[in-house]
Amino acid sequence: MKKLIITVVGKDTVGIIAKVCTYLSENDINILDISQTIVDGWFNMMMVVDASAAKKTAGDVCDELRAIGEGIGVQINCQSSEIFEQMHRI
Amino acid sequence: MISRNEVIETNKMIEHENLDVRTITMGISLLDCCDSDVNILCGKIYDKILRYAGKLVKTGEEIEREFGVPIVNKRVAVTPIALVGGCACKTPADYVKIAKTLDKAAKEVGVNFLGGYSAIVSKGMTEADKNLILSIPEALAATEYVCSSVNVGSTKTGIDMDAVRLMGEVIKRTAALTAQRDSIGCAKLVVLCNAPDDNPFMAGAFHGVSEGDAVISVGVSGPGVVKTAIEKVRGADFETLCETIKKTAFKITRVGQLVAREASARLGIPFGIIDLSLAPTPAVGDSVAEILEEIGLESVGAPGTTAALAMLNDQVKKGGVMASGYVGGLSGAFIPVSEDRGMIDAVNAGALSIEKLEAMTCVCSVGLDMIAVAGDTPAATISGIIADEAAIGVVNQKTTAVRIIPVCGKQVGESVEFGGLLGKAPIMPVNGYSPAAFISRKGRIPAPIHSFKN
């Protein structure tokens, strides 16, 4: 399984999750876990997704999500989950 | 499952604290390129570098995008050229041909430096070693990406004082030949003692003869991350401070280990080592000097600096060692003056001298690094500085180095701007008394008594 972690941070607005989820479904990326909060009007979301069925490379998916974020004024980071597992687990 | 806080912590390190992987360095053996004809040799060298490192930069960029962590440099290190060219090169000019070939190959594969224009002469020089050393000024003046290093001593062999004397002259000539560009040639030339075979950092990287055909080594970084972490334990006792540095070093190194493993798998080249060095850059918040100041020094250079640096260096190693299967290279805090904003400020304020830096090199890697001095500094004085550093290395069984730039036409009080990672250096005052009679003695300094361990 190719697990990616997507984080979205920015000013809350209509349709952030919709935009991200549409992109994911169009690219055969399955959502495994999603959590979201709003602190002082700031939208904060973390998603764990499985990209093993995706045709695009993880690098391309990350770049395209970043571009979607720029389009709606939020910062989207998408990284392979390994970087977090390596750093925070022995 | 990874928690949101862990994700945020990692991304904060990358975005705000300059966490990056400093370099992926591919070591390539050129021993199988040897030929008695210099033109055929150059052709083989060019082909082999392109064949092995052709995808290095692209692979590095892919990993960067996928993991969201910047990989600042992609570099190549080759077998010491004195060995590779020995059979073909009869004059220093022949060696310059190889340097130009290396430069062309480096440019073609897109790396920002290529190391290994080197000679290992810790006990004595062959004719080939000597020709290479004599060719260094022309080679560095005629190339853009090539880095050169000469190892002049080791704990096992002592110090080759003939090479030390020669290197003082070579540094002066390199400065003169690149005088138009503030003697930048010297920024790509390092004189080493106890040089490791697997160092991924420039300018001292080369692919030692103890290595296999090709290897991937990674240098991590993260002074900013360490500084931010210890800001949170300001005033705490040493145990807490040390634990904080260790844990942070562990996290930084794990990122390096991950990148090294990925790069090795994708390029089909074995993983060598992770170098745990804390390497600063001229960027704000990416300074080793600032860590020392956060530990509690008014300015780096103050009494206590050596102790604080020794502790920092040790904790970084203790944290990093557990995070990687293989640790090697230089693995210690770097204290280059021109590449570290806090160091530059300390020199400008008069808080940090060459003598204090020399003391600091006793407890950390690597040595007197990126130090600009007046252009009229005599060659014998530079050789004296090299001999002092080599002695520290030989006696303490550690790597030491000198990368000193006698900037043509500049005097103490002025400064020099190299740009990019090489940064900006104030011209530092050097002790004016002469070691000329000492340096002019021929031969070598014997190995120290504690090297006889058999």
Average pLDDT score over residue span B255-280: 93
The tally of domains found in chain B comes to: 2
Q: Was domain A3-78 assigned CATH 3.30.70.260?
A: yes
β-strand partners of B215:
B27
Tokens read off for B432: 């004016």
Average pLDDT score over residue span B270-289: 90
If residue B214 lies in a helix (H) or strand (E), which one and from where to where? Answer: strand B214-220
pLDDT at B244 over 90: yes
The model's pTM is 0.92
Q: Examine the domain organization and report whether B185 and B230 are in the same domain.
A: no
Strands B71-78 and B21-28: parallel
Segments forming the whole domain that contains residue B188: 27-193
Q: Examine the domain organization and report whether B41 and B158 are in the same domain.
A: yes
pLDDT score, position B422: 86
pLDDT at B278 over 80: yes
Cα Rg of chain A (Å, integer)? 13
Task: For residue B341, name the pLDDT band (cuts at 50, 70, 90).
Answer: very high
The region of weakest confidence among A20-29, B2-11, B88-97, B438-447 is: B2-11
> From the CB of residue A38, how many other CB atoms can be counted at a distance below 10 Å?
10
B375-385 pLDDT per residue, tens: 999 999 999 99
B316-331 pLDDT per residue, tens: 999 999 999 899 888 8
Residue that finishes a domain, picked among B193, B211, B231: B193
pLDDT at B104 over 90: yes
Pick the closest to residue B77 from B218, B192, B200 (CA basis).
Answer: B200
- Encoded amino acid at A66, one letter: R
CA B307 distance to own-chain centroid: 22
* B276 against B242, higher pLDDT: B242
Average pLDDT score over residue span B289-298: 96
Longest dimension (CA), chain B: 67
pLDDT score, position B427: 96
- A80 interfaces chain B, CB cutoff of 8 Å: yes
Interface test with B, best of A65, A87, A88, A89 (most B CBs within 10 A): A87
Contact A82 B67 (CB under 8 A): yes
Strands (E), B71-112: 71-78
- A75 interfaces chain B, CB cutoff of 8 Å: no
Task: For residue B333, name the pLDDT band (cuts at 50, 70, 90).
Answer: confident
Q: Examine the domain organization and report whether B235 and B178 are in the same domain.
A: no
Residues of chain A contacting B20 with CB distance shorter than 8 Å: none
Q: Which phi and psi angles does B190 have, rounded to 5°? A: -130, 140
Average pLDDT score over residue span B44-53: 97
pLDDT score, position B284: 83
Residue that finishes a domain, picked among B142, B175, B193: B193
Q: Examine the domain organization and report whether B174 and B238 are in the same domain.
A: no
pLDDT score, position B74: 96
Cα dihedral across residues A23, A25, A28, A30: positive or negative: positive
pLDDT score, position B285: 85
pLDDT at B36 over 90: yes
pLDDT score, position B350: 95
Q: Examine the domain organization and report whether B225 and B183 are in the same domain.
A: no
Between CA B202 and CA B114 the distance in angstroms is 8
pLDDT score, position B17: 86
Q: Examine the domain organization and report whether B268 and B128 are in the same domain.
A: no
- B453 interfaces chain A, CB cutoff of 8 Å: no
CA A13 distance to own-chain centroid: 16
B3-33 pLDDT per residue, tens: 888 888 898 888 888 889 999 999 999 999 9
pLDDT at B41 over 90: yes
Alpha helix locations (H) across B188-231? 223-231
Cβ contacts below 8 Å, chain A against chain B, sum to 62
What separation in angstroms does the CA of B44 have from each of B34, B48, B147?
A: 8, 6, 20
Q: Examine the domain organization and report whether B244 and B304 are in the same domain.
A: yes
Pick the closest to residue B191 from B392, B54, B350 (CA basis).
Answer: B392
pLDDT score, position B263: 95
Residue that finishes a domain, picked among B128, B158, B193: B193
Residues of chain A contacting B258 with CB distance shorter than 8 Å: 82-83, 86
pLDDT at A1 over 80: no
pLDDT score, position B235: 94
For residue B55, the distance in angstroms to the closest alpha carbon of chain A comes to 16
Alpha helix locations (H) across chain A? 16-26, 58-71, 82-88
- B10 interfaces chain A, CB cutoff of 8 Å: yes
Tokens read off for B5: 């806080």
Cα Rg of chain B (Å, integer)? 21
Is B375 among the domain residues? yes
pLDDT score, position B3: 86
Is B452 among the domain residues? no
Between CA B30 and CA B209 the distance in angstroms is 10
Residues of chain A contacting B66 with CB distance shorter than 8 Å: 57-59, 62, 79-80
Per DSSP, B448 falls in state P
The region of weakest confidence among B67-81, B85-99, B414-428 is: B414-428
pLDDT score, position B21: 92
Compute the mean pLDDT over every residue in chain B, rounded to the nearest whole number: 94
Between CA B246 and CA B256, with CA B252 as vertex, the angle to 5 degrees is 135
- Per the CB < 8 A criterion, the answer to whether B402 and B357 are in contact is no
- A86 interfaces chain B, CB cutoff of 8 Å: yes
Tokens read off for B398: 């550690």
Strands B400-407 and B367-374: parallel
pLDDT score, position B441: 97
Is B73 among the domain residues? yes
B107-166 pLDDT per residue, tens: 999 999 999 999 999 999 999 999 999 999 999 999 999 999 999 999 999 999 999 999
- A28 interfaces chain B, CB cutoff of 8 Å: no
Tokens 């920002």 -> residue: B112
- B325 interfaces chain A, CB cutoff of 8 Å: no
pLDDT at A41 over 90: no
pLDDT at B365 over 80: no
Pick the closest to residue B280 from B18, B45, B71, B90 (CA basis).
Answer: B18
- Per the CB < 8 A criterion, the answer to whether B246 and B318 are in contact is yes
> What CATH number does the domain containing B56 carry?
3.20.70.20
Q: Examine the domain organization and report whether B273 and B349 are in the same domain.
A: yes
* B276 against A23, higher pLDDT: A23
pLDDT score, position B218: 94
- B265 interfaces chain A, CB cutoff of 8 Å: no
Is B60 among the domain residues? yes
pLDDT score, position A24: 95
Q: Examine the domain organization and report whether B252 and B391 are in the same domain.
A: yes
Is B209 among the domain residues? no
Task: For residue A38, name the pLDDT band (cuts at 50, 70, 90).
Answer: confident
pLDDT score, position B209: 94
Tokens read off for A85: 């597992």
